[in-house]
Structure 1
Amino acid sequence: MRIAFFVNSIEGEAPYYTTTWLALAALARGHEVCYVTPGDFVLRPDDSMLIRATTLDGAKPKKPETLLGALKSKQAKISTIELGEVDVLFLRNDPSEDADSRPWAVYVGTNFGRLAAARGIIVLNDPEGLALAQNKLYFQGFPELVRPTTLISRSIEEIRAFIDSHSRGVVLKPLQGSGGKNVFKIGSKDEVNLNQIFEVASGGGYLIAQDFLPDAVAGDIRLFLMNGRPLERDGVYAAFRRIPAKGDVRSNIHASGRPEAATITPEVLAIAEKLRPKLVEDGMFLVGLDIVGDKVLEVNVFTPGGFPEIAAIVGVDFSDEVITALENKLHLQELYRGRVPNRTLATL
């Protein structure tokens, strides 16, 4: 099996990225991997589709640093190949990273992913589903019961009124964004710097204002779902708690949050079950839920991370389960001779 990992850039990949660990797991199971970036697709006049793939020459690396070092060095082999030479196109980019500097790249994964799926390549997560999730409006499609009270607007008057109606304060963040960038806790509508915060946070468009959840002080739980169900091995779940730095409302690891062990209770599993029908319908193969108390703050469908942190805490690398699932999907595709739609196959 050959897996193509679609990422923002090879230079930007890091050893602690989940994508890196997935690539290593694939290599360890005897598969081939290549990396593809937004500028690497070709659609020729005869409707044939190709990719400019970066692969490795020589021995298969076994460590994250070795893998990325090889990809970024002269050991890397760059060649243009027919898309049909790839079995799985794994979309692991973060569109929000390109929104400001390379707006042309934001929709490349979903647009070319659709074309690849139409040509019989397994594309995960399903590009049609991902197209619906290009920003946090997607979150509003899940049951109200599991979502914090939310306002989406660019009007500072609307936001002030929302803040005034929530005595616990609100969290303000961009509709399009990730990694905890431009996320603010607002205590009241009389916040001295509210106008400045509004200008910074709204630079990319619409804003989300959410009722502040007191439980967030203790951090959130990142729980992975695969094929719509919690990812686990022998009763150990692919999950960890993200603890925010002192004085910070953000628990993102990239924003100085720290990982700790998480207890996955029946209540947490019940929350995940409430999200399952839509995730399955939309072909969301691998998803990261951010849970605080009885609410879900985020549904991460593009490039959820955390496998290295989980492995360090619980001693289980769940990358192997993911690659095994890809093997099974390829088997099902061959068994049904391509008659199962990509969105359906994505969560089987």
Structure 2
Amino acid sequence: MRIVFLVNSIEGEETFYATTSLALAALARGHAVFYATPGDFVLRPDGRLMVHAIGLGAARPRKAETFVAALRGDATERHVLDIADVQVLFLRNDPSEDAGPRPWATQAGILFGRLAAERGAIVVNDPDGLARAQNKLYLQGFPETVRPTTLITKHIQEIRAFVDAHPEGVILKPLQGSGGKNVFKVSSSHETNLNQIFEAVSEAGYVIAQEYLPAAIEGDVRLFLMNGRPLMRGDTYAAVRRVPAEGDLRSNMHANGRPVEAVVTAEMLVVAEQMRPKLVQDGMFLVGLDVVGDRLVEVNVFTPGALPEIAELTSVDFSEDIVIALEQKHEIRRTNGGALTNRELATL
């Protein structure tokens, strides 16, 4: 198969990214791997959708360090691919990273992903589903029993009233954001710096206020779902507990969170099962759930990470399982023609 990974930028790719693990697994299984960025699509007058992409030619690195060095180096080969000749377009760009510096790029994966699906490529996650999940408001579409009590507003008075109603405290964070940036805990509506916190969080738009879950002091569990179900091999789940750094409430790896082995509980599996119908309906092939106790605090559908950390902790490289699932989807499409929509195929 030809697999194109859409990322924010080539120079921004890192050895510890899940995309790197997925690309290495695809190369190891004999597939042709290409990388493209939001500005690389071309819709020609004849209706052909092209993408300018880079590949490594015949090189098949086995280590992340070698792969990323080659990807950034001068030995890459530049291609102009017809999407009709691409089997999989894997949307791995994070729109929140582009919201400030180049807002035009935030929609590129979704817009051109739709066109790619119309031209026969398998596009994951499904672009129509991603369009509904471009910010944390997506979480509100899932059952109330699986998520914390949440307020979304740009009015400080609403925030103060919400804090007063939750004596354990409240987490404030941007509606559009990732990586743990501008995440704060507020314990009282009378905190002297509440106005400053609100200004920092609301600078980019709406603010999410969530009830603080005391169990979060031990971190959260990132649990991967594939095709709507927990990703596992044998008895091992694709999951990792992310423990906050000392003095920090954020468990994100970008915020110095520490990965440790996770115990996937029955309560977490109940959360996952309650999430499944909507994830399948939206064509979400690969999703990372962030769970605290029996509550879902975030659902990551664009660039869920931690696959390398999970591989190190469990000795299971789930990237291979993900690539095998894509192979199966390609075979289903090949044998069934156009009988299945991209959304159906994404989670089949």
Superposition map of 1:134-283 within 5 A: 134-283=134-283
> What is the identity percentage for the equivalent residue pairs of Structure 1 and Structure 2?
63
Structure 2 counterpart of 1:202, one-letter code = S
Rounded to whole Å, the distance in 1 between the matches of 2:64 and 2:210 is 37
Structure 2 counterpart of 1:15, one-letter code = T
Rounded to whole Å, the distance in 2 between the matches of 1:2 and 1:97 is 26
Question: Aligned with 1:204: secondary structure?
Answer: coil
- Matched with 1:299 is 299
Residue deviations 1:293-347 (CA, integer Å, cap 9, x gap): 1100000000000111101111111000000000000000011112200000000
Assess if the C-alpha contact under 8 Å between 2:222 and 2:239 holds in 1: yes
- Matched with 2:287 is 287
Rounded to whole Å, the distance in 2 between the matches of 1:91 and 1:81 is 16
- Matched with 2:93 is 93
Rounded to whole Å, the distance in 1 between the matches of 2:312 and 2:56 is 27
Rounded to whole Å, the distance in 2 between the matches of 1:48 and 1:329 is 23
Q: What is the count of residue pairs matched by the alignment?
A: 348
Question: Aligned with 2:25: secondary structure?
Answer: helix
Q: Unpaired runs of 5+ in structure 1?
A: none
Superposition map of 1:4-153 within 5 A: 4-153=4-153
Instruction: Give the C-alpha shift of residue 57 in structure 1.
Output: 2.7
Residue deviations 1:98-155 (CA, integer Å, cap 9, x gap): 0011101001000100010111110000000000001111110000000100000000
Residue deviations 1:66-125 (CA, integer Å, cap 9, x gap): 111111111111121211121000001110000011101001000100010111110000
Range that drifts further, 262-271 or 26-35: 262-271
Rounded to whole Å, the distance in 2 between the matches of 1:311 and 1:83 is 32
Structure 1 counterpart of 2:151, one-letter code = L
Structure 2 counterpart of 1:167, one-letter code = P
- Matched with 1:337 is 337
Rounded to whole Å, the distance in 2 between the matches of 1:224 and 1:88 is 20
- Matched with 1:322 is 322
- Tell me the C-alpha RMSD between the 2 structures: 0.7
Structure 2 counterpart of 1:265, one-letter code = T
Question: Aligned with 2:54: secondary structure?
Answer: strand
Question: Aligned with 2:89: secondary structure?
Answer: strand
Instruction: Give the C-alpha shift of residue 166 in structure 1.
Output: 0.6
TM-score with structure 2 setting the length: 0.99
Instruction: Give the C-alpha shift of residue 159 in structure 1.
Output: 0.5
Structure 2 counterpart of 1:169, one-letter code = G
Instruction: Give the C-alpha shift of residue 246 in structure 1.
Output: 1.3
Rounded to whole Å, the distance in 2 between the matches of 1:246 and 1:185 is 15
Rounded to whole Å, the distance in 2 between the matches of 1:108 and 1:132 is 15
Question: Aligned with 2:172: secondary structure?
Answer: strand
Q: Unpaired runs of 5+ in structure 2?
A: none
Structure 1 counterpart of 2:134, one-letter code = Q
Assess if the C-alpha contact under 8 Å between 2:160 and 2:189 holds in 1: yes
TM-score with structure 1 setting the length: 0.99
Assess if the C-alpha contact under 8 Å between 2:267 and 2:293 holds in 1: no
Structure 2 counterpart of 1:143, one-letter code = P
Question: Aligned with 2:308: secondary structure?
Answer: helix
Question: Aligned with 1:326: secondary structure?
Answer: helix
Question: Aligned with 1:9: secondary structure?
Answer: coil
Structure 1 counterpart of 2:232, one-letter code = E
Question: Aligned with 1:311: secondary structure?
Answer: helix
Show structure 1 runs of 4+ deviating over 3 A: none
Question: Aligned with 1:106: secondary structure?
Answer: helix
Structure 2 counterpart of 1:331, one-letter code = E
Question: Aligned with 2:203: secondary structure?
Answer: helix
